[in-house]
Structure 1
Amino acid sequence: MISVVAETYKVHPQTLRLYERHGLIRPARSAGNTRLYDEAAIQRLESILTLTRELGVNLAGVEVILGLREQLGRLEADLETLRTALEQLERDHRHGVDRTRALVPVAHRALVKR
């Protein structure tokens, strides 16, 4: 609920509504349209408050920073996917090389090395 979050983090409920209008936080809504702040929304709010209160960043800067943070997260996930795919390709390649070597007779291998 907005009142609980506002009191906990010592911000005015209008400030939370402003953050929501700017797309900085996206609380879920109950059937009665009450704002529900999950762990992700709370963590995001904590980041916003750190940026604004402790670092003096304005809302436009917060939007940029949080957008870049999200983009970085997506890129890191993409990188991990690519690493996993590369590891699989390397395993497949090694397996193919091993199978090929098993098919080539030893005497023929000796001739090829010359």
Structure 2
Amino acid sequence: MVELAQTGHQPGVSPSRRRCGPVGLLADKALKIWPFRSLLRLEGWTSAAHRRVVILGGAAHAIPPTTGQGAAQAFEDVFSLALLVARLQEHGEKLRWEDALAF
């Protein structure tokens, strides 16, 4: 696998990639691979005492940093949180937090 990554001559590699030559990081014959991680299942996504802190983005999703998805997921999480807050404000005291989450 290291040899294939160094030479770039495996099937499906573009001609422009082949022109780049051997991969510099693999010159020491060590293949660098990010380990996959998992997160412990959380009881909730907010701080326990006052519920003023919420976990978003890369902190809330078990995605390797090589995917570059942390910021994108944070934006999606913030948008979803904004929808929940708007729904709670719209319905006032009639709607509990748990009911707002059921949308």
Give the structure with the higher percent helix: 1
Please state which band the TM-score falls in when normalised by the shorter chain: 0.3 to 0.5
- Scaled by the length of structure 2, the TM-score of the pair is 0.41
Q: Give the structure with higher Rg (CA).
A: 1
